[in-house]
Structure 1
Amino acid sequence: MAVDTRARPRRQAAAEPPLRRLGFLLVRRRRLVLSLSLLGLIVAAVLAAGAVSGLSLARFEAPGSESDRAQAELVERFGTGSPDMIFLVTARNGTVDDPAVEAEGRQLTERVGRGEGVAEAASYWTRGKPATLRSQDGRHALIVVRIPGDADHVRAQILPTLVPEITKGSDLLQVRSGGGEEVFRETVPLARQDFVRAELVIFPLAFVLLWLYQRRVMAALVPILAGLFAMAIGLALLRGVLLFADISTFALNLTLAMGLGLGIDYCLFVIQRFREETRKGKDRASAVAGAVEHAGRTVLFSGLTVATSLAVLFALPFDFLRSFAYAGIAVVIGGLVAAVLVLPAVLATVGGSMLPRRVRPERDSGFWHGLAVRVMRRPLVFGGLATAVLLLLASPFLGLRFGAADDRILPPEASARQTQEIIRQSFPAEETDAIQVISAKATTGDVSSYATALSQLPGVAQVDSASGSFADGRRVGDGDQARFQAQGRGTWLSVVPSAEALSDDPVRLVESVRSVEPPFEVLVGGYPAELSDYRASVVDRLPLVLALMLGVSFAVLFLMTRSLIIPLKATLLNVLSLGVMFGAIVWIFQDGNLSGLLGFTPTGTLDPSIPILMLCIAYGLSMDYEVFLLSRIKEEYDRTGDTEEAVATGLQRGAPLITAAGGILALTFAAYASAQVAFVQMLGVGMAVAVLVDATVIRAVLVPSLMRLAGPLNWWPSGRATTAPR
């Protein structure tokens, strides 16, 4: 079918909606648009490569918190701080107290201390052989290391050289590396491998599924190319963001996952509408313009909804989470450019190869129409049953327990995890994760009484201070004034937790330490306190995040529908689908169900960062399908004024595409279930569940039942639209 590019009368063109005029413009300038798109893709690819290399590593920190101020005070006043990593030293024969092993252990500690970037190194042998740095069987001892600098400096510049050099070991000693920095240094490349491996499966799988749905090679290929285009544009935009903000390397993973999913979704919406317009007998130019006018409007509203859902992460003062807002918004922009600007030019050029080989008349009746009619005949029965099932699936969410991520996010064969497992099983306490209590001014007597009180807390193995070491309320060792006291500038105490307390609930232990009334003003810091403050900061801002997300998406849907009731119902339904998603991740990843099948180790808690990220992504994607279905229903209502018929016809025309797009997107996320890093698995499984529930039960049952119950109130306060049918 030839493309008719003849000019329309100026008066007719001026009276048309802006998006329709844009569609005709893209048809007329299709060669220019495609040339500029190709040039833009090349430039974006170059910028994207630079963006990838500019992404940074991040820590779970709460800027300005008590633990953050405590760490700064510890460095400034005492020239020390929390250990960044550890070396687990094992005697190949005998114990770590054998004279030859001790001599070599001291030499090894000195060698670590001379390493590039290392500020401090201490060990069992150099600290007077405390029991907290020696395993119960005497075979292992610890070297604790402090390396100043940000995560990029420590993990990318120092550890890659230091770790291989020290872990060579000797005839007497075997040396393993561990600690928080080493755990996350190993996590990043594994997560990257997980995403690359998943993408190698996803691309051919998505192509096959698209071909089965579209039955044309070009119609299956173009959405995937649009996804790649969205990824490239998204990463290129991040290159600009990097000029004024730090972006976590994990944002790359989000860009890959969302880029393909949104690229496919948005292109399917436009291609489907192009096919419908062609079926009505319109020439290709008019069909493209109609697709841009109707599907393009839906895509723009959808993109706005997804972007605003992710933008609420800017309300959180954490670079790690803000990174996902930058990445998500950037990839949405890429998807919108691909679907609304580039794809129409492609359709104008090769649109014939995307049409079905056999043209079938459009039917307003069929399976989905019949399902909607049956649901609306008995809305309370169907809607009530669906709601009960979804609430049951969401019920595990009531047992949600936030905790801290540790080495168990890694697979069992990861070296850092193996090191931590030995420490967890063999050492009575966690010296490397001690809670630090800092005071600018304190007397020796006050320190002794305070340390005695702290040592009596459940979960505290020992308290070390300038006045002595204390356990169970008794003095068990001499004080180390050189370590714990600055001349005329105050003192600090090291509260060493037991391994069991740190594994069970480090936040509760921090709260217990802070609840002891100190005889002088103190700051509580250390790794457990940092985790506690980070978790508290995230959880405290959850109501704000939810309020912003719900409010902004409500406003977007109101702009699209001019109704207050429909956005309210959409918000409630999306909250219900989010409940199912969180119920699934609590049941699986917190409680450990399916851990054997998926190959992860449950810890009994969930780190709050990933669920909050999933909340924003899932809510945005749920609104994606909501916007598409509501746009079809509203279009039919504007034409007929009959709510029930509009719902049934809108579902018949929209549900097949929503189901196909949702299925492809769910499979895209589900591919990450095979990941080695538990974070990545959680993101993949949770998002797949949310998309499937949303694209099936929510859209096919609850939307028709609620719209039937609301009746004319659906369109309040605008009432029936007066738009003339086209």
Structure 2
Amino acid sequence: MSIDASHTSQGGTVLSALARTATRRPLTVILFWVLFLLLGFGLGTGVFARLSDNVPEVPGTESERAAQYLDRTDPTGESITAVVEGVAVTDPGLRGQVERAVTDVRAIAGVAAVPDPYTTRGLTAEDGRALLIPVTLTGGLDDDAEERAVDAAADRIKEIDALEVHVSGGPLLGTQIGERAQEDVRNAELISLPVVLALLLVVFGGLRAAGLPLVIAVSGIAGAFLALFGFSQVTDISVYAIQVTTMLGLGLAVDYALLMLVRFREERRHTDDVVEAVHRTVGAAGRTVLFSGFTVAVSLTGLLVFPSVFLRSMGLAVAAVVVIDMLAALTLLPALLTRFGGRIPPAKTRAEGEEGRVFARLARFSARHRVAVVAVVVPVLLVLALPAAGMKIQIGDATQLPTSTEARQLYDTVDAHFPPGTGVSPVTVVLKPGTDTATADRIRALSPTAQTRQLPGGTSIVEIQPSGIVDGKAATDLVQRVRDVRGDTPVQVTGPAARLVDFRAMLSDRAPWAAVTVLIGIFALLFAFTGSVLIPLRTILTTLLSLGAALGAVVWVFQDGHLAGVLGAEGLGALSLTAPPLIIAIAFGLAMDYELFILARMREARRRTGDDQDAVVTGLRRSGRVVTCAALLLAVVFGAFMTGGFSPILQIGLGLTLAVLIDATVVRMLLVPATMALLGRYAWWAPKPLRRVHDRFGLHEEAPEQRELSRSN
């Protein structure tokens, strides 16, 4: 019952070992994964308390060095802000409550300062209906002491009896967003899992087969939590990581399980031996899953090129989840099939030409009218991608959050009662000892709002309040003007606007290297899979088209504001700086997923018949249904995560949904057969030296008929 190892790569040996383990000791494998699930949903969920909202930090940049310098030298620490709204905040009863609360908060250990909102300029609204209470913490507090101080201050302020009392900002903001992320994940799972199950029931026509992908999906979710918790022990994990890794873990797990189950039911038509069918499935579809997992992981390695802690941690965490999904599909699913696969009926036998006839017709149409298809599809995708040329990125503010979150409610209340720019973080200029007076004067002269304070050791801090939003053009231009004025003096600029400027510079510097790293890795994997140099090039170019179209649509909706209200969002004038790199990296990997599903079937047909044109039609006929169902299931998963209302997640969810749907339909069903027909017999060509490399190290997968012939001999 072993898989024929002749003419197989090292990957085939690994798959054979996995198949033998899963079929010989299925209960052991299942028990291992049960323990993994318990660990993931037990220990792994601890990551929700360890999330960070410090996305734009880039180690080594000027803004980060200045921030670290201030952490060491500035006796004041972070701050939180409260807004109290009433019919009249000067009402004696309300004023008495506020003053008592301010006095009590000042006495909390770890609180450095709380100004009187009634006597401090700018803290009481001109309309007399709201006031601000900023609470500054002592510098150098450890995490536990800071958390106790923040919680005690927030709880005391919320005891004020007013129309509205909201507290957020600083370390409290990360906690609030983390709680919202946990709620969004739970709601998304409650929405997506029943819908996915219903769709799987339609695909398979039975509860047993439909339920198995959900088991793998739950394993993917547990893996996401556990991977993030592990990485949180050594690095910061972004508040965005939970939704992104969970949606991808859930979606890919269903994809891989769907591919394996469809193949298992096909193999059951050829043998009544369940174990033999499992071995055949792992030997064929398992290879595609293995290469797909590696390809998605390689697509995410581009994120490791960036020095940003956020991008690196996201790349590592998502890649880890992909590997977990892949291992679950290659070990847990075969074990479950060994135990319960006998109750899953084989795929229905259909007359020649009936199976996948719609996809076969599409393939023939595209191949017959290949020039026309390319001439129409490519310009349409390029037009859809045009808005991406004007893409802008920003850190963003509370407008990215759902209106039900406390940070957003605080923002909206302040915006309703105070002048524009109130509460916007200033551009912070650090004038270290040795800065000449003339330079300091020129920096202060940049804005009439500049305020100076002294730190121990002779350092001066100049805080300049920018007009507009925290990271808008006025704020980033101010950062650049300060850096132009300072010359060679020991002056550094930090704050949100400075971090955005440095983050953009980091993206610009490292993006070409990230692209080269990913493209070389993808090319190498696709060459190993196909033995061709032209198919990888064609795949990369067509994938970039679908990716560009999806990114253009995201810019059109969330940056320009078209139809944003339909998604419960609003046009923000820019995308979240988290969205574009994650959409590009993940969508590129997912597109490779479907390409491999199709290429695997094309390769099988070509090895069996030697007919290049027939291989394209047969490949799409045999894989079209799986690719379409997988894309639809992924779209359901991504769509469920878009119900949370958190703008960065909406942007990522919409981008990935469109990328998957465009790629699985327009590109794979029309553009792939058209371009393969244009290439003809040269599609599978490679220079002789590379052909020898592939013969020795590449993937060599046998079709089922050839395996039977090999066994008979």
Per the TM superposition, whether the score is higher than 0.5 is: yes
In the alignment, the residues of structure 1 paired with residue 141 and residue 563 of structure 2 have an alpha-carbon distance, to the nearest angstrom, of: 37
Helix, strand or coil at the partner of 1:62:
coil
Partner of residue 681 from structure 1, selected from 650, 653, 675? 650
1:452/1:45 CA distance change after superposition, 3 Å: closer
CA apart distance, 1:627: 0.9
- Rounded to whole Å, the distance in 2 between the matches of 1:687 and 1:441 is 50
Task: Determine the C-alpha separation between the residues in 2 that align with 1:228 and 1:487.
Answer: 54
- 1:117 paired residue number: 110
- 1:699 counterpart SS class: helix
- Equivalents in 2 of 1:302, 1:686: separation in Å? 20
Aligned residue among 299, 303, 310 for 2:300: 310
Could you tell me which of 641, 644, 649 is aligned with 1:672?
641
Matching of residue 547 in structure 1 with residue 543 in structure 2 = no
2-side partners of 1:167 and 1:365: how far apart? 62
1:230: Cα distance to partner?
Answer: 2.8
The answer to whether the aligner puts 1:434 opposite 2:430 as a matched pair is no
**Shift of residue 16, structure 1, vs aligned partner:** 7.2
- For residues 140 and 268 of structure 1, do their structure 2 counterparts lie closer, same or farther at Cα, with a shift above 3 Å needed? closer
Deviation at 1:227, TM superposition (A): 1.3
The answer (yes or no) to whether the contact 1:91–1:140 under 8 Å persists in 2 is yes
Shift of 1:254: 3.1
User: Quick check: 2:402–2:644 contact (8 Å CA) kept in 1?
Assistant: no
TM-score normalised by structure 2 residue count = 0.87
Aligned length: 687
What's the secondary structure of 1:279's corresponding residue?
coil
Alignment of 1:619 onto 2:609 = no
- Mapping for residues 221-620 of structure 1, pairs under 5 Å: 221-238=211-228, 240-248=230-238, 250-280=240-270, 283-356=273-346, 358-361=348-351, 363=353, 366-425=357-416, 426-427=418-419, 429-430=421-422, 433-441=425-433, 446=438, 449-455=441-447, 462-465=449-452, 484-486=453-455, 489-499=458-468, 505-517=474-486, 520-620=489-589
Q: 186-195 or 620-629, which moves further after superposition?
A: 186-195
Q: Distance in 2 between matches of 1:400 and 1:19?
A: 41
In 2, Cα distance between equivalents of 1:554 and 1:120? 58
In the superposition, relative to structure 1, how do residues 506 and 179 fare at CA in structure 2: closer, same or farther (>3 Å)?
farther
Per-residue CA deviation, residues 577-630 of structure 1 (Å, 9 max, x unaligned), is: 111221121111112222222212332111221221122111111110011111
Tell me by how many angstroms 1:369 deviates. Answer: 1.4
Q: Mind listing any 5+ residue stretches in structure 1 that lack a counterpart?
A: 456-460, 466-483
Aligned partner (choices 146, 151, 164) of residue 160 of structure 1: 151
Give the whole-Å Cα distance in 1 for the aligned partners of 2:362 and 2:497: 54
Distance between the aligned counterparts of 1:678 and 1:31, measured in 2? 45
State the one-letter code of the partner of 1:84.
S
Tell me the SS of whatever aligns to 2:133.
strand
Residue equivalent to 1:57 = 51
* Aligned mates of 1:625, 1:164 — CA distance in 2: 51
Q: Aligned letter for 1:643?
A: D
| 1:14-25 alignment runs, 5 A limit | 15=6, 17=8
Question: Where does structure 2 lack aligned partners over 5 or more consecutive residues?
Answer: 707-713
Shift in CA distance, 530/100, structure 1 to aligned 2, threshold 3 Å: farther
Distance 1:123 1:567, change over 3 A: farther
- Asked if 1 retains the 8 angstrom alpha-carbon contact of 2:223 and 2:321, the reply is yes
Cα pair distance change 1:106/1:494, threshold 3 Å:
farther
Separation of aligned partners in 1, 2:545 and 2:625: 22
Cα deviation, residue 448, structure 1: 6.9
The aligned counterpart of 2:81 is 86
Deviations, residues 526-564 of structure 1 (Å, cap 9, x unaligned) = 233233333433443222222222221111111111111
Partner of 1:638: 607
Specify whether residues 152 and 375 from structure 1 end up closer, same or farther in structure 2 by C-alpha distance, changes over 3 A only.
Answer: farther
SS at the partner of 2:429? strand
Query: For residues 486 and 236 of structure 1, what CA distance do their matches in structure 2 show?
Result: 43
1:566, 1:260 → 2: CA distance?
29
Deviation at 1:648, TM superposition (A): 0.7
Q: Indicate conservation of the 8 Å contact 1:24/1:288, yes or no.
A: no
Give me the whole-angstrom Cα distance separating, in 1, the residues matched to 2:495 and 2:26.
56
- For the 8 Å contact 2:471–2:496, the answer to whether it is kept is no
Counting only pairs closer than 5 Å after superposition, residues 8-157 of structure 1 correspond to structure 2 as: 15=6, 17=8, 32-48=24-40, 49-54=42-47, 56-58=50-52, 59-60=54-55, 61-80=57-76, 83-89=78-84, 93=88, 108-122=101-115, 129-131=120-122, 133-137=123-127, 139-147=129-137, 148=139, 157=148
**Distance (Å, rounded) in 2 between the aligned partners of 1:150 and 1:386:** 58
SS for the counterpart of 2:461 is strand
Q: CA deviation at 1:366?
A: 1.8
Read off the aligned partner of 1:367 and give its amino acid letter. V
Which whole-Å CA distance do the structure 1 matches of 2:141 and 2:559 have between them? Answer: 30
Q: CA shift at 1:693, angstroms?
A: 0.7
Most deviating of 618-627 and 411-420: 411-420
- Per-residue CA deviations over 1:264-288 (Å, capped at 9, x if unaligned) read 2112212222222333457444332
Find the aligned partners of 2:127 and 2:583 in 1 and give their Cα distance. 43
- 2: CA distance, partners of 1:311 / 1:273: 30
CA distance in structure 1 between the partners assigned to 2:75 and 2:683 by the alignment: 66
CA contact (8 A) 1:538 1:609 kept: no
Aligned counterpart, 2:184:
194
Contact 1:88 1:176 in 2 (8 A): yes
In 1, Cα distance between equivalents of 2:199 and 2:297? 27
TM-score, with length taken from structure 1? 0.86
Shift of the 602–158 alpha-carbon distance from structure 1 to 2, 3 Å rule, reads: farther
Asked if the contact 1:397/1:582 (under 8 Å) is kept, the reply is yes
**Cα 1:16–1:572 shift into 2, 3 Å:** closer
2:662 aligns with 693
SS of 1:437's partner is strand
Shift of 1:412: 2.2
- RMSD after superposition: 3.3
Greater shift after overlay, 47-56 or 575-584? 47-56
CA distance in structure 1 between the aligned counterparts of 2:71 and 2:229, rounded to whole angstroms:
34
1-structure distance, mates of 2:574, 2:225: 33
Please say if residues 257 and 668 of structure 1, whose CA atoms lie closer than 8 Å, have aligned partners that are also in contact: yes
Q: Are the structure 2 counterparts of residues 107 and 246 from structure 1 closer, same or farther at C-alpha, using a change threshold of 3 Å?
A: same
Is contact 1:22-1:289 (8 Å) kept? Answer: no
Q: Percent identity?
A: 33
SS of residue matched to 1:524: strand
CA shift at 1:401, angstroms? Answer: 1.1
8 Å Cα contact 1:430/1:496 also seen in 2? no
Distance 2:86 2:151 in 1: 24
In 2: Cα distance, 1:325 partner to 1:342 partner? 25
